[in-house]
A = this chain, B = another copy of it.
Amino acid sequence: MQSEIINIGDELLIGQVINSNAAKMGQMLIQGGFTTRRMITISDDKEDILASIENRLPDTKVLIFSGGLGPTRDDLTKNVLAEYFDTELVFNQEAYDDIVALFAQRNFKVTPTNQEQAYLPQDCITLPNKVGTARGMWFEKKDLIVISLPGVPFEMIHLMEEQVMPRLVAHFSTKPLHYRTMMTIGIGESFLADKIEAWELGLPQDMSLAYLPHYGAVRLRLSCTDPHPESSIKRINAELAKVVPLISEYIYGYDEESLQEVVGKLLLKRQQTLATAESCTGGYISHLITSVSGSSAYYKGSVIAYDNDVKKNLLEVSSDNLEQYGAVSEAVVKQMAEGARKILKTDFAIATSGIAGPEGGTDEKPVGTIWIAVATPDTCIAEKFQLGDHRGRNIERSATLGLNMLRKMLIQ
């Protein structure tokens, strides 16, 4: 079933905002059994909106718009669609009540501008939006379905998940594409490809493998177009089982599970606790861990020791070590991990100390030099990594490396 995506917004056309909505929508559509043949980005302009409907590709059955539904003067989409589908905007009491309820929750008063968002086209199905003020709209005309969603990413995702995909799958009785994702860490894409080449070449015709690299982790997605869900998943699992022995040391999970979720589950199972002591990662490991709901069951906290005095005073790092080896050293990062374990009274601790960059490198310790330590009840290990010169990526990769070091200790 062929779909097209149309994203509306000047901020996209001038490149101020990267269009992540299109990717997310494309992902959800393919999972529901729809093939997105084209994505278009246009301005909130009547002529361009109409042209994108009229000039759709011959076999397109579903057109999904996002954006252009805001309460402000520059948002035209609703009016243009009402005109195209020859219907009028009428006051929708339910939509209004939702806006009032949402605003009451946040202690805001409803303004006339917000009130206008409750005027919706009469001849369309309106799609309730629990996380924002703009309802989605679903129009049908002959064999074409046109859907309009807000452009705020979490509102669009909420509506796609709760309203659009279930309705589309039911309407067209599509067969979702089936796939599973194997999460690997600690091996680059091309090395991984070499290790599993023979397996990959032997995959059945209706299966396909995708490599999805992301900051030191590579996801392997195996998909299957076998229309029967049970046999499809069964066959995917059978193929994945074959590849496990080839790369077992690098697999940390399945199906978009994050490293922090995996580490959290391992700690929960062992009923043990974790702390961190972060210098170069500046709280990012702690942020990842606490982004998992329920993490308070195993995560006690962290000392972010950006300043050397904090390393000394709170983590009991010795002045001698700081002077002799510097903050970015094996001796110091180990003392940080051990200090965090002791002071925060946990079973495990991860510590990081490095030069995230872009400034602060020396000949001996260039930008990207990162020491990471993991302290356990029995031991404390440290490893040195030489990363690149991009601050943001160094922070993200260090966090991933630290979490993976702990994971490996936990499964030993």
Whole-angstrom distance between the Cβ of A80 and the nearest chain B Cβ: 16
The complex places the Cα of A152 from the Cα of B193 at a distance, in Å, of: 17
Does more than half of chain A's interface fall in helix, strand or loop, or is it mixed?
A: mixed
Residue A229 is within 8 A (CB to CB) of chain B in the complex: no
Against B, the Cβ 8 Å flags (1 = close, 0 = not) of A90-114 are 0000000000000001111001111
Residue A304 is within 8 A (CB to CB) of chain B in the complex: yes
Chain B residues within an 8 Å CB radius of A189: 70-72
The complex places the Cα of A293 from the Cα of B306 at a distance, in Å, of: 13
Residue A365 is within 8 A (CB to CB) of chain B in the complex: no
Chain B residues within an 8 Å CB radius of A390: 131, 154
| Pairwise interchain contact A12-B41, C-beta atoms closer than 8 A | no
Other-chain residue from B57, B191, B307, B358 in contact with A296 (beta carbon distance below 8 A) = B307
Residue A39 is within 8 A (CB to CB) of chain B in the complex: yes
Binds B, one of A15-23, A167-175, A242-250: A15-23
Among A13, A28, A57, chain B packs the most CB atoms within 10 A around the CB of A13
Residue A186 is within 8 A (CB to CB) of chain B in the complex: no
Contact (A19, B22) CB under 8 Å given A303-B314, A304-B283: yes
Contact (A213, B152) CB under 8 Å given A42-B38, A306-B300: yes
Residue A128 is within 8 A (CB to CB) of chain B in the complex: no
Oligomer: number of copies = 2
Chain B residues within an 8 Å CB radius of A287: 282-284, 286-287, 395
Chain B residues within an 8 Å CB radius of A36: 13-14
Q: Who on chain B is nearest to A273 by CB? A: B307
Against B, the Cβ 8 Å flags (1 = close, 0 = not) of A163-194 are 00000000000000001010000001111011
| Pairwise interchain contact A13-B41, C-beta atoms closer than 8 A | no
| Pairwise interchain contact A17-B212, C-beta atoms closer than 8 A | yes
Whole-angstrom distance between the Cβ of A396 and the nearest chain B Cβ: 10
| Pairwise interchain contact A105-B388, C-beta atoms closer than 8 A | yes
| Pairwise interchain contact B106-A386, C-beta atoms closer than 8 A | yes
| Pairwise interchain contact B18-A23, C-beta atoms closer than 8 A | yes
Chain B residues within an 8 Å CB radius of A208: 74
Residue A27 is within 8 A (CB to CB) of chain B in the complex: yes
| Pairwise interchain contact A344-B310, C-beta atoms closer than 8 A | yes
Whole-angstrom distance between the Cβ of A340 and the nearest chain B Cβ: 10
Among A25, A41, A200, A301, chain B packs the most CB atoms within 10 A around the CB of A301
Residue A40 is within 8 A (CB to CB) of chain B in the complex: yes
Residue A46 is within 8 A (CB to CB) of chain B in the complex: no
The complex places the Cα of A232 from the Cα of B305 at a distance, in Å, of: 46
Residue A268 is within 8 A (CB to CB) of chain B in the complex: no
| Pairwise interchain contact A193-B72, C-beta atoms closer than 8 A | yes
Residue A48 is within 8 A (CB to CB) of chain B in the complex: yes
| Pairwise interchain contact A16-B221, C-beta atoms closer than 8 A | yes
Other-chain residue from B111, B276, B282, B295 in contact with A194 (beta carbon distance below 8 A) = B111
Q: A287-B395, A294-B359 are in contact. List 12 more A-B contacts (CB 8 A).
A: A15-B24, A15-B25, A73-B193, A105-B388, A296-B306, A300-B310, A301-B314, A302-B304, A303-B304, A303-B314, A314-B314, A314-B343
24 pairs, CB–CB < 8 Å, chain A vs chain B: A11-B221, A13-B39, A15-B30, A17-B23, A18-B19, A19-B23, A19-B39, A38-B40, A38-B42, A55-B55, A70-B189, A72-B190, A113-B193, A114-B190, A152-B213, A282-B286, A283-B283, A287-B395, A290-B395, A291-B391, A301-B304, A302-B303, A302-B304, A314-B344
